[in-house]
Amino acid sequence: MKKKKYSYKKSGVDISLANKLVKYISRVSRKSVKKTESFSTKDTIGGFGSLYDISNHKIKDPVIVSCTDGVGTKIDLANKYKKFDTIGIDLVAMCINDLIVQGAKPLFFLDYIAVGKLNLNKTKNILKGIFKGCRISKCKLLGGETAEMPGIYSKNKFDLAGFSVGIVAKEKILDKSNVKKGDIVLAIPSNGIHSNGYSLVRSILQKNKIPKNLKNEILRPTKIYSDEILKLTNKNLIKAAAHITGGGLVENLLRSVPKDLTLNIDLSKIKIIKIFKWLKSKNVSNQEMIRTFNCGVGFCLIVSKKNISRIKKIFSKEFVPYEIGSITKDKKKVNLLNSLKW
């Protein structure tokens, strides 16, 4: 009886195909690097480690800020609709939007892609989104890992994780210690669901057909707020900030409010966008909506009232911040006023 020959490729891992992907990433990465940038930021794709030269950043008392995140079960809907060119933007956005909460300027990004079986075209499309997200946030994709894991993931399944690093001057760090009684809470609109609450979205979609005019909202990529937020931090117009992700508006905002102060939110002022109204109509409670989704608020700022008019001028019409609350000093930690207007 002829003995079976074993190989890595027959076991489900194709090293040659993975090498082709690395060459593609390296080629695209080199095109995205400006000629004026130092050598150490250019040719690290495929190396054992990624290098970044920080000597060009003339920052007094620099502090490095790091974040890691994923896109949750939104990837399952990317698979369902066979649309992979925007999920990478989501990955970058989830990390960068966390990074800028501290006032940090994004420097570089690393990705981790795990697959059951490597599909070159599919993975290239995912990477196109990652590169686009990096361009929007003005950071560099320095490296990453693509892991082919047969038996752990089924053939068409994949998962994503991202890791971002930024830099901020110690005196410019956004921190809840800056927040005082009398400060105002501003809401910056989201452009959709972003990347949180998708297990609930998927559950609703299993038994409900989404209207045609809302179908594109399901995979709309997360808004990246770095350009606007960094303009504000450079002008010292923000005291603290919050990225509205899992846990919703209240839980995320509380992370940026000192323990001895009170967060007041007028829920009736929140400008709810259409996709959330549709999700709410599928028998989801108010409490569940506000704790699971951003409900139209993607990012929040805590600011001095005197700076509001200057802050609004920084944003495009679609994302102009508006007032939804204030900081006081009461016995309660949170005061939720009125109700969401569906």
* Residue 234's CATH number: 3.90.650.10
Q: Are residues 166 and 216 in the same domain?
A: no
Residue 10 counted as domain residue:
no
Q: Are residues 55 and 201 in the same domain?
A: no
Q: Are residues 158 and 244 in the same domain?
A: no
Selection from 262, 255, 260, 290 nearest residue 276 by Cα: 290
Q: Are residues 213 and 135 in the same domain?
A: no
Selection from 148, 155, 139 nearest residue 66 by Cα: 139
Residue 253 counted as domain residue:
yes
Residue 1 counted as domain residue:
no
Domain with 21, as residue range(s), is 15-172
User: What integer pLDDT is reported at residue 135 of this predicted model?
Assistant: 96
Residue 9 counted as domain residue:
no
Do the Cβ atoms of 137 and 224 come closer than 8 Å? Answer: yes
Q: Are residues 188 and 320 in the same domain?
A: yes
Q: Are residues 145 and 225 in the same domain?
A: no
Gyration radius from the chain CA atoms: 22
Query: What distance in Å separates the CA atoms of residue 49 and residue 55, rounded to the nearest whole number?
Result: 19
* Start-to-end Cα distance in the chain: 71
Q: How far are the Cα atoms of 76, 88, 90 from residue 160, in angstroms, in the given order?
A: 11, 8, 10
Domain boundary among 134, 152, 172: 172
Helix, strand or coil, per DSSP, at residue 176 = helix
3-state secondary structure 39-87: HHHCCCCCCCCCCCCCCCCCCCCEEEEEEEECCCCHHHHHHHHCCCCCH
Q: Using 50, 70 and 90 to split pLDDT, how confident is the model at 8? A: confident
Q: Are residues 87 and 214 in the same domain?
A: no
Domain boundary among 125, 146, 172: 172
For the segment 267-299, what is each residue's pLDDT rounded down to a tens digit? 999 999 999 999 999 999 999 999 999 999 999
Do the Cβ atoms of 237 and 310 come closer than 8 Å? Answer: yes
Q: Are residues 90 and 229 in the same domain?
A: no
Q: Are residues 316 and 208 in the same domain?
A: yes
Residue 119 counted as domain residue:
yes
User: What integer pLDDT is reported at residue 42 of this predicted model?
Assistant: 52
Selection from 156, 5, 153, 162 nearest residue 68 by Cα: 162
Selection from 233, 219, 225 nearest residue 310 by Cα: 233
Residue position matching structure tokens 């800028």: 100
> What percentage of the chain reaches a pLDDT higher than 70?
95
For the segment 74-117, what is each residue's pLDDT rounded down to a tens digit? 999 999 999 999 999 999 999 999 999 999 999 999 999 999 99
Q: Are residues 74 and 97 in the same domain?
A: yes
Q: How many domains does the chain have?
A: 2
User: What integer pLDDT is reported at residue 34 of this predicted model?
Assistant: 54
Q: Are residues 80 and 132 in the same domain?
A: yes
Residue 303 counted as domain residue:
yes
User: What integer pLDDT is reported at residue 21 of this predicted model?
Assistant: 84
Q: Are residues 140 and 238 in the same domain?
A: no
User: What integer pLDDT is reported at residue 242 of this predicted model?
Assistant: 98
- What average pLDDT does the segment 63-75 reach? 97
Q: Classify burial at 99, counting beta carbons within 10 Å of its beta carbon; exposed 0-12, middle 13-18, buried 19 or more.
A: buried
Selection from 243, 59, 250, 271 nearest residue 164 by Cα: 243
Query: What distance in Å separates the CA atoms of residue 46 and residue 21, rounded to the nearest whole number?
Result: 10
Domain boundary among 172, 188, 211: 172
CATH of the domain at 132: 3.30.1330.10
